[in-house]
Amino acid sequence: MSLIPTLAETVSRARTDLRMGLPVMIGGHLAAAVETLSPARMAAMQALGRPVLAITERRAETLKARAYDAGLARVKVPGDADLRWLRAIADPSGDLMTPMKGPLFTDRGGETAPHLAALALAKAAQLLPAVLVVPAPLQPGLTSVEPGPLMAQLASEAALNPVACARLPLGAAERSRLHIFRPDDGGEEHYAVEIGDPPRDQPVLARLHSACFTGDVLGSLKCDCGPQLHSALNLMGSQGQGVLLYLNQEGRGIGLANKMRAYALQNQGFDTVEANHRLGFEDDERDFRIGAELLRRLGFDRVRLLTNNPRKVAMLQGHGIEVKERVPLIVARNRHNTDYLDVKAEKSGHLL
C-alpha cells in the first residue's frame, strides 16, 4: 500500500485544518473557517485577491442577503472589512443587538463548487458554516482537495470497525456489554450497549440515542434526552434484552459548541428549529445511516424501535433495517422542556 494519503484521509486532515484555523485549498481556492481564522491569516488571504464570505442559504435568510445558489450565498467582503465584520456575519449571537449589518452584496454566477464544498467541510468540522474563500494558486504545505471528491467523500458512509468490547454491569441491567466502534474516516467513535444476549434472528428492542452532554450527563431540564436514555435502558433491563446505540452526534449533529450557541439564541426567544436556522444549519444535521450500519455490524436486521421520531423509522427502513414496531418513549414534561417538546411535535413531526 502506498504512503500517499487516500481521499478519506485528506478530507479528514482538511476538516482538522479548519478547526485549527488553517486554510485549505479547495479546487483552486483557499478556504478558511471564520470561527477559527486569525487576523494574520485573514490579511494573508486578502493579499491574494478579493475574498468572498460563503454562508448557507439559511444564514443568508436571517441576514436578508440574496442567495443566488441553492444552499449558498457568497457575500462580497469590502476591502476594509476586518475579522469582526466577518464574525458578525458568521455568528448570530449579536443579531438582535446589531440587526443592520448590510446592505450585503452577494455574488451571482461563476463557480460555486469550492464554496459549497467549503461549507460542507465546516459543518463536518462542527464549526459555524461561514468560510472565507479566495481564488489562489496552490499553496505549499496546505491540504488540497477538489470540490467534487470532497463532497462525495463527506456524503459517503464510513465503515465502522469494532475496536473493543467488554462486560459492563449497569444499574438498569447487570448483563450488559459496551462495544466501541471507530469509523475509518477519522470521525467520531460511536458506542453500542448490548443488554442480555438478544437472538439475532428476532426483532430486537433497539434505541438510537444521539449524544446530549447536557441532558445525559448533567441532567438538563431543557430537553428529554436524559430521561429517554434511562427509560430505554430500564425497559431493556426489565425485558432482559435490547441494544442501545449511543451515537456521538451531539446537538443533532452540530456539536456541543453550536448547540450552546443555539441555546443562547433560545434565551433570546427563538425556538429550537429557528435557532439552528439562524446559525446556518438545518434543523437536523444527523446522519442516521450510522445507526443502520451499527445494527448490521452487531448482526441485527430487524428492530422494535424505541422512538417518537418518524424520521428515524424511515431512515432505518431506507437503509435495510426492518422496523417491525415503533415503541413510543414518553417522558415527563417540565416547565423548561414543554416548549421544546411542542416544537418537536409541531415542526419536526415527533409523535408525542
Cβ proximity of 209 and 246 under 8 Å: yes
Q: Is 262 in the site for Zn ion (CB under 5 A)?
A: no
210 is in an annotated binding site: yes
Residue list 72-91, contact with Zn ion (CB under 5 A): none
Active site residue 286: yes
Site residues, ligand GTP (CB under 6 A): 209-212, 223, 225, 228, 249-252, 254, 259, 262, 272, 276, 307-309, 312, 329, 344, 350
- Comparing CB distances to ligand GTP, the nearer of 113 and 352 is 352
Long-range contacts of 100-106 (CB under 8 A, 24+ apart): 101/63, 102/63, 102/64, 102/65, 104/63, 104/64, 104/65, 104/75, 104/76, 105/75, 105/76, 106/60, 106/65, 106/66, 106/67, 106/68, 106/73, 106/74, 106/75, 106/76
The rounded distance, in Å, linking the Cα atoms of 75 and 85 is 12
317 is in an annotated binding site: no
With CB cut-offs between 5 and 8 Å by kind, which of ligand GTP, Zn ion, none does residue 114 bind?
Answer: none
250 is in an annotated binding site: yes
207 is in an annotated binding site: yes
Active site residue 301: no
Query: Cell 446559525 appears where?
Result: 279
- Pattern 216-245, binding to Zn ion, x per CB under 5 A? -------x-x--------------------
46 is in an annotated binding site: no
129, 198, 215, 291: residue in contact with Zn ion (rule CB under 5 A): 215
Q: Helix H segments across the chain?
A: 7-20, 39-46, 57-63, 83-90, 113-124, 147-155, 225-239, 256-267, 272-279, 289-297, 310-318, 338-347
Compute how many residues bind Zn ion; rule: CB under 5 A: 4
Q: Residue ranges for the binding site for GTP?
A: 207-211, 228, 250-252, 272, 307, 312
Q: Residue ranges for the binding site?
A: 207-212, 223, 225, 228, 250-252, 272, 307, 312
Positions in the binding site for Zn ion (CB under 5 A):
212, 215, 223, 225
Catalytic residues, which ones? Answer: 284, 286
